[in-house]
């Protein structure tokens, strides 16, 4: 649910209130800074009245020296306020970074996470800092100047304050409409940048399709829309100039008009000069900074912060209580009953009414055209996806529950290796300490010995320096070390050569009590399995490799048995893999018969009838 503006305001207020000490420090140093403002007019007035006009230039110079000292003291205060600003801004940035990282980890990469982290967070940080500086500076400069006016002659306030307040009210009134236009402009600007980016990256496709006119029209319309947004924003800037004039410039005139009256009431010439100095040299620049700064920083902060903090739609998988029914000894390793699943409310289901039972200890291969839903199936079994209807159980426990999570391990195609030691990467799925010899045994079993050539388990790993195959070996060792009895290999060996793949698969199949589900990448992988699930929409079948050669034309195709001469060697290379979280191109998987009638697991000689390896 998107946050209401009220919620965001109270969040912001809470953030500031929790840091009242920082705010107090900031106020104290700002007060020091305001000393300079105060002295600007007051010392000048005294220098004139008590010094230069009284024929005592020494006294005059003395007061100016006081002003010079105040400048230095004030500047010191200015310098120290940055410490306070940092104490507000840095935690603010930390909070944003935490949010961005947390959100990216929860919802996956939408291609923008890094930009949000490095670019947008920095914009928000700078804008927030600008906002704090400008607001703080205005408040204390105004206080310093007004205090100076009061000390010079309280009556001066009566002349200066009303236009100042009027101008500020006018400015505050323009704040919201201007922010809206500023935001509209930023959105239009981004749309132009995105569109131009797509066009420049796709010039070849534009030319090839002869779509120049279309692009000129569509992208051109966005450019014109941005122009309109910029003009609308520019028109409101007039209001800003007027507000500035009323608050900062006009007060000079009533002061001059009232001068004879003020002089008659005992206001000294020096005080009059001091008042004019406060107006033109303190208040006007401070107002200028406030009006320009608040307009720009405030809106940028609002827009970016909204983007960074708006919570995304609720995650697809519902939270499941962690009670975890203990698995009964007799229940199958994996069990799907009438499972239907699709990726969105308007999407057609990828899997429809699927029944499947995998007994403990079985080695099942899943094959089918790219995108038919093989990865979706592993996602359902792993509990990462929640079926629309039907039930998925792992070891007798519903797949989404924590108990089920302990009984399966999923190894996706894109192997995860993080910067750390090799040993840390291997032990990733184990809670307690794992002795080195156990790790080494797993390395041996998977056939990943070459990973250790760089310096053993404590050698640091640079993920980018590993080949795709080496990364997959790391993930396989890690999964082998986990205590989960059910291993789900989702094209987890696609970057290994066929021999290494066979070695790794056999290692998993040979784990005592281990159940293995392999989304097959090569034909040989299916031939090694006890049974094969051929996903092909309504034609979905399950059987032994030998049976399927007779029963499934698709299986024969995938095995390369019906390819033309010369193409056969190509059949071992099924490259395409659907993106994670996406539906593929097959027809719906409709189980029109119970495919889960478990057959006794039997040992097949590796390779099967077409074995060529």
Partner 1 sequence: MAATASSCEAGDRGGRILRDAVRHSAGRTVVLAFVATASTAAALALPAVLGHTLDLLLARRDAEAGCWVLLCAVLVGVPVVLDALDELLTATTAARTTAWLRHRALGHVLAAGPPATARIPAGDLVTRLVGNAAHAGTAPASLAGTLAALAAPLGGIVALALTDVWLAVAFLAGAPVLALLLRSFARASADSLTGYQRLQGEIAGRLVEALAGARTIAAAGTAGRERARVLAPLAGLAEHGHRMWKVQGRATAQAATLVPLLQIIVLAVAGYELSRARLSVGEVLAASRYAVLAAGIGALVGHLNALVHGRTAAGRLAEVHALAPVRHGTLRLPPGGDGTLRLRGVSAVRGGRRVLREVDLTVPGGTTLAVVGRSGTGKSVLAAVAGRLADPDAGEVTLDGVALRDLTREELRAAVGYAFARPALLGGTMGGTVAFGSFTPDRDAVVAAARAACADDFVRKLPEGYGTACAAAPLSGGETQRLGLARAFAHAGRLLVLDDATSSLDSVTEAKVAGALLHDVAARTRLVVAHRPSTAARADRVAWLDDGRVRAVGTHEELWRLPGYRAVFEE
Site for partner 1 in 97-136 (CB under 8 A): 97-98, 101-102, 104-106, 108-111, 113-114, 117-118, 122, 129
Of the pair 231, 599, the CB lying nearest partner 1 is at 231
User: Per CB under 8 A, does 342 bind partner 1?
Assistant: yes
Judged by CB under 8 A, the residue of 5, 154, 266, 345 near partner 1 is 345
3-state secondary structure of 75: helix
CA 243 – CA 502 distance, rounded (Å) = 77
Of residues 161-200, those binding partner 1 (CB under 8 A): 192-193, 196-200
CB distance 531 to 366 below 8 Å: no
CA 17 – CA 390 distance, rounded (Å) = 50
3-state secondary structure of 108: coil
Of residues 574-613, those binding partner 1 (CB under 8 A): 574-587
User: Per CB under 8 A, does 497 bind partner 1?
Assistant: no
Closest CA to 274 of 572, 534, 516, 63: 63
CB of 605 to partner 1, least distance (A): 25
Stretch that binds partner 1, among 66-74, 173-181, 389-397, 504-512 (CB under 8 A): 66-74
CA 83 – CA 76 distance, rounded (Å) = 12
User: N- to C-terminal Cα distance for the chain?
Assistant: 55
User: Per CB under 8 A, does 524 bind partner 1?
Assistant: no
CB of 224 to partner 1, least distance (A): 7
Helices in 202-319 by DSSP H: which ranges?
203-209, 212-244, 252-264, 269-277, 284-293, 299-309
Range 87-110 burial, b when 16+ CB lie within 10 A, else e: bbbeebbeebbeebeebbeeeeee
User: Per CB under 8 A, does 253 bind partner 1?
Assistant: yes
Of the pair 575, 603, the CB lying nearest partner 1 is at 575
Stretch that binds partner 1, among 297-305, 336-344, 524-532, 602-610 (CB under 8 A): 336-344
User: Per CB under 8 A, does 557 bind partner 1?
Assistant: yes
Tell me the helices (H) and strands (E) count for the chain, helix number first: 21, 13
CB of 136 to partner 1, least distance (A): 13
CB distance 469 to 415 below 8 Å: no
Interface with partner 1 (CB under 8 A), residue total 166
User: Per CB under 8 A, does 5 bind partner 1?
Assistant: no
CA 478 – CA 512 distance, rounded (Å) = 17
Judged by CB under 8 A, the residue of 14, 162, 177, 269 near partner 1 is 269
CB of 83 to partner 1, least distance (A): 7
CB of 192 to partner 1, least distance (A): 7
Of the pair 293, 560, the CB lying nearest partner 1 is at 560
CA 544 – CA 601 distance, rounded (Å) = 9
Of the pair 485, 586, the CB lying nearest partner 1 is at 586
Q: Which two tokens stand for residue 241?
A: 């100039």
Q: What angle do CA 113, 318, 342 make, to 5 degrees?
A: 80
Of the pair 79, 311, the CB lying nearest partner 1 is at 79
Number of Cβ within 10 Å of residue 75's Cβ equals 13
Phi, psi dihedral angles at 116 (to 5 degrees): -60, -45
Closest CA to 83 of 129, 36, 138, 15: 129
Stretch that binds partner 1, among 165-173, 226-234, 439-447, 604-612 (CB under 8 A): 226-234
Cα separations in angstroms, 77 against 26, 37, 89, 93, 546? 9, 12, 18, 24, 85
CB of 386 to partner 1, least distance (A): 13
Of the pair 10, 115, the CB lying nearest partner 1 is at 115
CB distance 475 to 414 below 8 Å: no
Of the pair 82, 331, the CB lying nearest partner 1 is at 82
Judged by CB under 8 A, the residue of 214, 452, 468, 499 near partner 1 is 214
Of the pair 259, 610, the CB lying nearest partner 1 is at 259
Of residues 400-429, those binding partner 1 (CB under 8 A): 402, 405, 408-412, 414-419, 428-429
Stretch that binds partner 1, among 19-27, 60-68, 167-175, 356-364 (CB under 8 A): 60-68
Of residues 80-99, those binding partner 1 (CB under 8 A): 80-83, 85-87, 89-91, 93-94, 97-98
CB of 398 to partner 1, least distance (A): 15
Of residues 460-479, those binding partner 1 (CB under 8 A): 463, 475
Of the pair 529, 535, the CB lying nearest partner 1 is at 535
Stretch that binds partner 1, among 352-360, 451-459, 495-503, 552-560 (CB under 8 A): 552-560
Question: How many angstroms from the chain centroid is the CA of residue 540?
Answer: 39
User: Per CB under 8 A, does 314 bind partner 1?
Assistant: no
Of residues 429-458, those binding partner 1 (CB under 8 A): 429
Burial class, 114, CB count within 10 angstroms (exposed 0-12 / middle 13-18 / buried 19+): exposed
Burial class, 246, CB count within 10 angstroms (exposed 0-12 / middle 13-18 / buried 19+): buried
User: Per CB under 8 A, does 388 bind partner 1?
Assistant: no
Judged by CB under 8 A, the residue of 169, 227, 452, 598 near partner 1 is 227
Please give the DSSP secondary-structure letter assigned to residue 482.
S
- Greatest distance between any 2 Cα atoms in the chain: 119
CB distance 527 to 606 below 8 Å: yes
Q: Which two tokens stand for residue 147?
A: 């205090």
Of the pair 466, 604, the CB lying nearest partner 1 is at 466
């Amino acid at each position: 649910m998107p946050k209401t503006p009220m919620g965001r305001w109270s969040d912001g207020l809470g953030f500031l209130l929790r840091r009242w000490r920082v705010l107090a420090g900031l106020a104290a140093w700002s007060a020091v800074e305001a000393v300079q403002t105060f002295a600007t007019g007051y010392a000048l007035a005294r220098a004139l009245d008590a010094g230069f006009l009284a024929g005592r230039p020494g006294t005059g110079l003395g007061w100016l020296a006081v002003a010079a000292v105040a400048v230095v003291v004030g500047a010191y205060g200015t310098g120290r306020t940055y410490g306070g600003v940092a104490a507000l801004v840095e935690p603010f940035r930390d909070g944003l970074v935490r949010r961005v990282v947390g959100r990216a980890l929860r919802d996956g990469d939408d291609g923008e996470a890094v930009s949000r982290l490095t670019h947008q967070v920095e914009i928000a940080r700078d804008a927030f800092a600008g906002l704090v500086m400008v607001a703080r500076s205005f408040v204390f400069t105004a206080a310093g100047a007004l205090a100076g006016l009061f000390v010079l002659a309280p009556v001066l306030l009566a002349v200066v304050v009303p236009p100042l307040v009027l101008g500020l009210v006018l400015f505050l009134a323009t704040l919201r409409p201007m922010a809206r236009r500023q935001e509209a402009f930023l959105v239009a600007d981004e749309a132009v940048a995105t569109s131009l980016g797509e066009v420049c990256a796709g010039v070849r496709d534009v030319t090839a399709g002869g779509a120049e006119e279309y692009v000129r029209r569509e992208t051109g319309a966005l450019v014109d829309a941005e122009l309109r947004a910029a003009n609308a924003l520019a028109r409101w800037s007039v209001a800003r100039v007027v507000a500035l004039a009323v608050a900062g410039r006009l007060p000079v005139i009533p002061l001059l008009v009232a001068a004879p009256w003020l002089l008659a009431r005992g206001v000294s010439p020096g005080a009059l000069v001091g008042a004019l100095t406060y107006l033109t040299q303190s208040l006007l620049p401070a107002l200028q900074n406030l009006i320009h700064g608040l307009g720009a920083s405030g809106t940028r902060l609002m827009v970016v912060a909204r983007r960074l903090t708006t919570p995304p739609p609720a995650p697809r998988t519902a939270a499941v209580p962690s009670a975890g029914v203990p698995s009964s000894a007799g229940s199958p390793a994996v069990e799907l009953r009438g499972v239907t699943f699709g990726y969105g409310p308007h999407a057609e289901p990828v899997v429809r009414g699927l029944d499947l039972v995998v007994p403990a200890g079985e080695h099942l291969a899943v094959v089918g055209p790219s995108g038919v839903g093989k990865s979706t199936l592993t996602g359902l079994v792993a509990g990462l996806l929640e079926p629309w209807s039907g039930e998925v159980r792992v070891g007798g426990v519903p797949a989404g529950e924590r108990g089920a999570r302990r009984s399966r391990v999923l190894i996706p195609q894109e192997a995860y290796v993080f910067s750390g030691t090799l040993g840390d990467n291997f032990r990733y799925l184990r809670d307690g300490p794992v002795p080195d010899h156990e790790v080494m045994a797993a390395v041996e079993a998977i056939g990943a010995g070459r990973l250790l050539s760089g310096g053993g388990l404590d050698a640091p790993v640079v993920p980018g320096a590993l080949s795709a195959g080496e990364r997959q070996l790391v993930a396989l060792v890690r999964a082998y070390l986990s205590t989960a009895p059910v291993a789900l290999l989702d094209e987890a060996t696609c970057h290994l050569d066929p021999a290494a793949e066979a070695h790794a698969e056999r290692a998993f199949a040979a784990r005592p009590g281990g159940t293995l589900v392999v989304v097959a990448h090569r034909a040989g992988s299916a031939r090694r399995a006890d049974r094969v699930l051929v996903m092909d929409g309504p034609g979905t079948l399950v059987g032994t490799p030998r049976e399927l050669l007779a029963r499934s034309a698709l299986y024969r195709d995938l095995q390369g048995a019906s390819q033309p001469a010369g193409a056969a060697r190509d059949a071992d290379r099924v490259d395409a893999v659907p993106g994670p979280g996406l539906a593929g191109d097959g027809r719906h998987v409709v189980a029109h018969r119970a495919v889960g009638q478990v057959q006794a697991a039997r040992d097949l000689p590796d390779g099967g009838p077409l074995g060529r390896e």
